[in-house]
Chain A
Amino acid sequence: MAVLGSLKTFKGGHYFGLFEGTPRGKRLQAAPLPAKVIIPLRQGFSAEVASTVKEGDYVRTGQVIGRAEPNSTKPSTPVHASISGKVTKIEKRPHPLGGEALSVIIESDGKDEWVKLDRPANYEKLPPEELGKILYEAGVTSGGQAGFPTVYHSALATPEKIRYLIINAVETEPFCEATDQLLYEEFDKFVNGLKILRQALGNVQVHIGLGYNKPRIYEELIERLEYYDWCTIHQLRPKYPQGDDAVLVRTLLGILLPQRGYATDVGCVVQDVQQCVAAYEAVVEGKPFVERVVSVAGSAIKEPGNYRVRVGTPIGNLLENNLKSNGRIVLGSVLRGQAQGDLDAPITRETPAVIALREAERELFPVAGPGFDRDSFTGAYLSLPWVRYKRATTSLNGNPRPCVKCGYCVDVCPQNLVPALLGEYSANGLLSEAQDIDLFACIECGLCAYVCPSKIPLLEQIREGKRKILQGA
């Protein structure tokens, strides 16, 4: 095994402070079983699958309720029931990641009876195809950052094209602590799971990107993987957005991702801790991927915590009696995620966190304060080491102004773009000019809009520009 001593990082990015309501170090707890679940048949990145159950059917936990039509060529994975009970409805519902999707609504019978997968006798001897099939059947294949499929049965890429398996064990997203916690608590499953994933991909090279704020895990990983020459451990600075596919692949391997492309286009499969653990549970324990870890966090949460949550649980169940005030509820990421008005929006296989933020509060002359509890890319605020938590509200912290070309967005952009120009061009309909300066190299990490002192919605403008181009093309 190769262990790289030096810390790797990338140009740009931002170290977020610890925001109030971050469940750092909170042990994983099992969330109570929901009375009903809403399971969209489009999980994450994959295409929508057809329902295999009817209204009124009785299903058991882990039973397949949707899979691709036999002649479908789009990448997708089977979708499973996450509780046992009766299918009460199958209808179109808003998908938490945007758009609408056919969703199966199951009312729990409270028994939680499982259907488990067939467990192979000796999985270490299985050929990749067999292993891939188990993972596909277990639904492990959709998860990770954009819900991208793990294994070639359901991926855009074919197996011979995959050269690297990249494990994302650096969590840099604010408020998302659950995957870190999973790494600490299920370390054995993680290590075995990543071996399984590697085996399923045909024994490719494995690169692990680990945050350097986890020295204990680093030591243990070295101990466990010392004798394998297929594995390289990289220590990374925990700077947002290090966990993004494009940034991670570039930092670890020096490979640039193509515009409008994915990691699979350059022969990489990126998986995070949750996928490794799920792969282990599928192959060794026979459990389909129906439960994931979720952080319930944010400044409007009374008791932030990390939970094991069944897929399809409405976010209202997690926030019940736990909200301080009317917060803004965001799924997944406060930087790039979508605010949810509907407490019935379900947790999907790729939701790492449910975040509730306090709404903006009026302050008199906020500019005059020293800002001990403010997070800023600039050095204009005095953050004190003993003020542990940074303030997190939905306040803009400033009045919208015309761009003054301060260049913060350029400094912070991990993709070396000029976001101010991209936003300006996109907002004014200069789409070919925007493409000339690599609009599609943008990974939509949202940092440019975060740091902008003029409070220009750069992320929104850039997304709008991309949408217009894709619609026009």
Chain B
Amino acid sequence: MVKDRIYNIFERVHHDLETRGLKGLAILVEGVKDSVFGGSDKTARQAPYIRDAIGMQRYMGAPIVACIPLALASIYFYGWRSLAIIVLSYLVGMAVEFTFCAIRRHEITEGLLVTCMLYALSLPPTLPFWMVAVGIAFAIGIKELFGGSGYNIFNPAISGRAFLLLAFPSAMTTRWYVPFNPLTDGLGGFLHWSPAVKGLDAIAKATPLGAFNSPDITNPDLFTLLTGFGRADVLGATSAILVILGGLYLLRTRVIDWRVSIVMIVSAGVTSQFLSFVNPEKFPDGIYAVLSGGLLFAAFLNATDPVTSPMTVRGRWIFGIMLGVLTILGRGLTGYAEWVTFSILIGNMFTPLLDRFAIPKSFSAPAVQKR
């Protein structure tokens, strides 16, 4: 059988590397073998003897599936340069992760693939390539310093983005392209490297979030916000409809929980709506607040990162509400327009606390005295 032959080749190479003392390389070979066979070759040694079909591959594959339409749309909106950003962050991310895994001798985990994708999709389309590389190297490096997937405290994709926001604030917040618009540009970005070919027309003054904060720029209308036609934003969050579709897919597959994502979106909308009555200069109405910036994208894809969000139902409610409220307060009251990044990092810090203390009460009475 072909499968068995491939399996044996992996086994032999792995064995040879180990006997020659090349443990790091052996771990990489093991990782490739595991990803090819997806754990179908591993056997349950203890009860339960049958196991759910879900494995970490499928689990981490779901967010990537949800991101593929976003990635395709970003190519359309911003040209092939956006694909280059995605590919570059994968290459650098994998290089850093593999290096760490080889040195520290632990297995390569699937979370890496999600991190690189989410990271790339949360960048502005104008960002220089070297900054892309620095950001993802930081993101994966920090995750690995904490011990790798499962042990990291901060969401890796978001920590990379936060690093760039603080290190290169102007590159991250002031340079935007007007995306290709299907209503006028035909095949748009599929034919171009970047919207820069349009010359001066390609430079956008601000994202919808920036537009709200500057009085001299008109706010985009609801249609623009939803479809992303003519909305300047980060790669993945341009079209709100696609983000929502991806989110619904993830909710359907149970990979994300509505208690984080939907609760965060609703609490942000409600908070902003309420505060807009108090100070309409600083706070937009709820719909605008939800659709502008990366809030939808982050709520469905970043905040729901399993490792850095709480496990229990109660913890997730608290987490979701906290993130929504913090995002709106930060946007209105601080110098940074896009606060969803920081609110997720702050939420991440509370996650271990929530995991330990928001424990549900078990369905049992206290132990009885045994006769």
Whether A367 lies near B364 (C-beta < 8 A) is: no
Contact of A421 with B39 at beta-carbon distance under 8 Å, contacts A19-B50, A404-B307, A449-B48 already known: no
Interface residues in B, total, Cβ within 8 A: 66
CA distance A451 to B249 in the complex (A): 20
Is B61 an interface position by the 8 A CB rule? yes
- Which residues from chain A contact B149 at a C-beta distance below 8 Å? 401-402, 404
Q: Which residues of B contact A450 (CB under 8 A)?
A: 48, 50-52
| Chain B residues with CB under 8 A of A363 | 3, 37-38, 40
B130 at interface, CB cutoff 8 A = no
Q: Which of A454-473 contact B (CB under 8 A)?
A: 454-455, 457, 459-460
Determine whether the beta carbon of A366 is less than 8 Å from that of B37: yes
Question: What does the 1/0 interface line of A194-227 toward B look like (CB < 8 Å)?
Answer: 0000000000000000000000000000000000
A376 / chain B contacts, CB cutoff of 8 Å: 52-54
A367 x B38 contact (CB < 8 A): yes
Task: Decide if B56 touches A415 in the complex (CB within 8 Å).
Answer: no
Ordered by A's residue number, 21 sampled pairs between the chains whose C-beta atoms are within 8 Å are A261-B368, A265-B368, A328-B49, A334-B50, A337-B49, A338-B47, A362-B40, A363-B40, A375-B53, A394-B50, A395-B44, A404-B56, A404-B150, A405-B307, A405-B311, A407-B257, A407-B312, A410-B360, A417-B360, A449-B47, A450-B48
Known A-B contacts: A395-B41, A449-B51. Give 20 more (CB < 8 A).
Answer: A256-B365, A261-B367, A266-B365, A335-B47, A360-B41, A363-B37, A376-B52, A380-B255, A381-B58, A391-B53, A394-B49, A399-B57, A405-B310, A408-B54, A410-B312, A410-B360, A449-B48, A452-B51, A453-B58, A459-B48
Whether A451 pairs with B39 at a CB distance below 8 angstroms is no
- Chain B residues 109-152 with CB under 8 Å of chain A are 109-111, 148-151
Docked complex Cα distance between A366 and B4 (Å): 15
Residues of B within 8 A of A339 (CB): 47, 49
CA distance A137 to B237 in the complex (A): 74
Most buried by B among A260, A401, A446, A457: A401
Looking at chain B's contact residues, is the secondary structure mostly helix, strand, loop, or mixed? loop
**Chain A residues positioned under 8 Å from B47 (CB to CB):** 330, 333-339, 446, 449, 459-460
Give, as a whole number of angstroms, the nearest-CB distance from A152 to chain B. 14
B52 close to A375 (CB less than 8 A): yes
* Residues on A with beta carbons closer than 8 Å to the beta carbon of B59: 378, 380, 404, 406, 453
In the assembled complex, A41 has its CB within 8 A of some CB on chain B: no
Whether B54 contacts A259 by the Cβ 8 Å rule is no
Contact (Cβ within 8 A) B52 A397: yes
A379 beta carbon closer than 8 Å to chain B = yes
> Within 8 Å of chain B (Cβ to Cβ): is A257?
yes
- List A contacts of B316 (CB < 8 A): 407
State in angstroms the CA–CA spacing of A407 and B111 once bound together.
Answer: 16
Residues A399 and B55 in contact in the complex (CB < 8 Å), given A363-B40, A405-B355: yes
A378 touches B364 (CB 8 A): no
The interface size of chain A toward B, counting residues with CB under 8 Å, comes to: 84
Q: Which residues of B contact A457 (CB under 8 A)?
A: 45-46
Report if A416 contacts B (CB, 8 A).
yes
**When chains A and B are docked, how far (Å) is the Cα of A289 from the Cα of B45?**
34
Nearest 3 CB-CB pairs, A to B?
A398-B55, A402-B150, A374-B53
Q: Given A364-B37, A407-B311, answer yes or no on A395-B42 (Cβ-Cβ < 8 Å).
A: yes
CA distance A404 to B115 in the complex (A): 14
A47 and B62 CA atoms in complex are apart in Å by 51
- A contact face: mostly helix, strand, loop, or mixed: loop
Q: Which A residues are CB-close (under 8 A) to B42?
A: 360, 395-396, 398-400, 455
Q: Can you name the residue of chain B whose Cβ is closest to the Cβ of A392?
A: B50
A471 vs B64: C-alpha distance in the bound complex, in angstroms?
Answer: 47
Q: Once the chains bind, are B109 and A365 in contact (CB under 8 Å)?
A: no
Residues of B with C-beta under 8 A to A362: 3-4, 7, 37, 40-41
Are B52 and A258 in contact (CB-based, < 8 A)?
Answer: no
Bound-state CA distance A400–B76 (Å) is 38
A146 at interface by CB-CB < 8 Å: no
A361 within 8 A of B: yes
Interface residues of B in 144-165 (CB under 8 A from A): 148-151
Q: Kindly provide the distance from the CB of A460 to the nearest chain B CB, expressed in whole angstroms.
A: 4
Whole-angstrom distance between the alpha carbons of A338 and B44 in the complex? 12
Q: Complex Cα distance A446/B56, Å?
A: 19
A418 near B359 with CB under 8 A, answer yes
**Given the contacts A362-B41, A398-B38, A259 and B49 also touching, CB distance less than 8 Å:** no
